[in-house]
């Protein structure tokens, strides 16, 4: 009798546990979790996981056909944009670009070293080569921005040799020719850094033209080079007029409208 009663209790308990597991599986499935693998939040930062889920339910859902087509046919962007790795100046956001529209290279202070065909490791030059020779982009845009930490680091350490192992200091030495044209640092340093950042864009365009395939394609009208400067605080975009050397505002009417329209 006791045996039958114990067997019945165990049976009910097993059924309850099984039902609980089934409900847990359904809950985890609905939440997009897989119990057989570690929590997604343990593998990636929670903000990225949440953003990815929003992407799946939003932009990816709307542009799924576009992604599928790109997977089949490959990318064919018309523009190579060389920008800064600063998290505040994402080119895809600033230019409202869809997938496959812009080939983006980002590094500290949006610099390009001069052509140097040696055995060193040239990440930016490799990306440039791929964009021009393989993708056949039609435009190269060098986009700097206000409050650039790389440019300010160069200004704050002007005249000092970078210590061994200082990658940023050695990298930022690429703007020395631009600094020589601008002149020595002078107060206010924020304005000086802005002038230097713009001069660096002009110098980077000159460095781009040291690459034979860039120079050749530009000469034959197959490639156009541009300079741009983005204001982080005010969202103003300036573009370089190489004839005058001045950076001129782009889309002033749209910019004025953005600030005239109440946000809330």
Question: Could you say which DSSP state residue 76 is in?
Answer: -
Catalytic-role residue among 59, 88, 106, 236: 88
Do residue 133 and residue 13 come from a single domain? Answer: no
Pick the catalytic residue from 86, 152, 203, 217.
86
Please report the pLDDT score of residue 163 as a whole number. Answer: 86
d(C-alpha 70, C-alpha 99), whole Å: 8
In this structure, the answer to whether residues 226 and 252 fall within a common structural domain is yes
* Statement to judge: residues 68 and 80 lie in one domain: no
pTM exceeds 0.85 for this model? no
Query: Are 47 and 156 in the same domain?
Result: no
**84: annotated active-site residue:** yes
CA Rg value for the chain? 27
Is 25 a known active-site residue? no
- Asked if residue 143 and residue 67 are part of one domain, the reply reads no
Shared-domain flag, residues 5 and 51? no
User: For position 112, which CATH number holds?
Assistant: 3.40.1050.10
Q: How far apart are CA 123 and CA 171, in angstroms?
A: 12
Question: 239: helix, coil or strand?
Answer: strand
The range of the structural domain enclosing residue 44 comes to 38-74
Domain co-membership, 92 together with 22? no
Residues 46 and 122 in one domain: no
Per-residue pLDDT at 158:
81
Question: Are 54 and 170 in a shared domain?
Answer: no
Residues 12 and 53 in one domain: no
Pick the last residue of a domain from 23, 50, 74. 74
Distance, CA of 193 to CA of 159 (rounded, Å)? 15
* Per-residue pLDDT, 38: 64
Count of domains observed in the chain:
3
Which of 84, 152, 203, 217 is an active site residue?
Answer: 84
Distances in Å between the Cα of 227 and the Cα atoms of 125, 151, 239, 248, 262 are 18, 16, 6, 10, 31
Question: What distances in angstroms separate CA 67 from CA 50, 74, 103, 155, one per listed residue?
Answer: 20, 10, 15, 43
pLDDT for res 211: 98
Please pick, among 59, 106, 120, 148, the residue that the annotation labels catalytic: 148
Q: Which residues pair with 81 in a beta bridge?
A: 104, 141
- Residue-level pLDDT at 42: 87
* Cross-strand partners of 72: none
User: Tell me, what's the pLDDT at 21?
Assistant: 38
**Do 100 and 3 lie in a common domain?**
no
Q: Residue 148 catalytic? A: yes
Extract the runs of DSSP E, i.e. beta strands, from the chain. 79-84, 102-107, 139-145, 224-230, 237-241, 246-249
The active-site residue out of 34, 41, 65, 145 is 145
At 162 the pLDDT is: 84
Pair 83, 98 in one domain: yes
pLDDT, tens digit only, all 264 positions of the chain = 434 443 443 344 444 444 443 444 444 444 554 444 567 668 999 999 999 999 999 999 999 999 999 999 999 999 999 999 999 999 999 999 999 999 999 999 999 999 999 999 999 999 999 999 999 999 999 999 999 999 999 999 887 888 888 899 999 999 999 999 999 988 899 999 999 999 999 999 999 999 999 999 999 999 999 999 999 999 999 999 999 999 999 999 999 999 887 777
Check residue 40 and give its pLDDT.
Answer: 67
């Amino acid at each position: 009798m006791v045996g039958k009663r114990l067997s019945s209790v165990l049976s009910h308990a097993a059924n309850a546990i099984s039902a609980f597991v089934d409900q847990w599986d359904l809950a985890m499935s609905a939440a997009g979790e897989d119990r057989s693998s570690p929590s997604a939040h343990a593998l990636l930062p929670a903000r990225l996981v949440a953003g990815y889920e929003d992407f799946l339910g939003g932009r990816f859902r709307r542009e799924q056909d576009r992604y599928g087509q790109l997977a089949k046919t490959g990318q064919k962007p018309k523009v190579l944009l060389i920008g800064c790795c600063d998290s505040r100046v994402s080119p895809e956001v600033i230019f409202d670009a869809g997938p496959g529209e812009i080939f983006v290279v980002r590094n500290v202070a949006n610099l390009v070293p001069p052509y140097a065909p040696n055995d060193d490791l040239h990440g930016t030059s490799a990306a440039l080569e791929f964009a021009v020779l393989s993708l056949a982009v039609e435009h190269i845009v060098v986009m700097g921005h206000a409050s650039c930490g790389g440019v300010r680091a160069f200004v704050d350490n002007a005249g000092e040799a970078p210590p061994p192992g200082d990658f940023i200091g050695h990298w930022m030495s690429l703007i020395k020719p631009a600094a020589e044209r601008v002149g020595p640092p002078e107060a206010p340093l924020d304005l000086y850094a802005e002038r230097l950042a713009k001069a660096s864009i002009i110098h980077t365009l000159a460095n781009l033209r040291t690459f034979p395939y860039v120079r050749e394609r530009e000469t034959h009208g197959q490639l156009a080079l541009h300079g741009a400067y983005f204001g982080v605080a005010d969202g103003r975009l300036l573009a370089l007029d190489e004839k005058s050397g001045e950076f001129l505002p782009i889309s002033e009417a749209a910019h004025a409208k953005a600030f005239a329209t109440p946000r809330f």
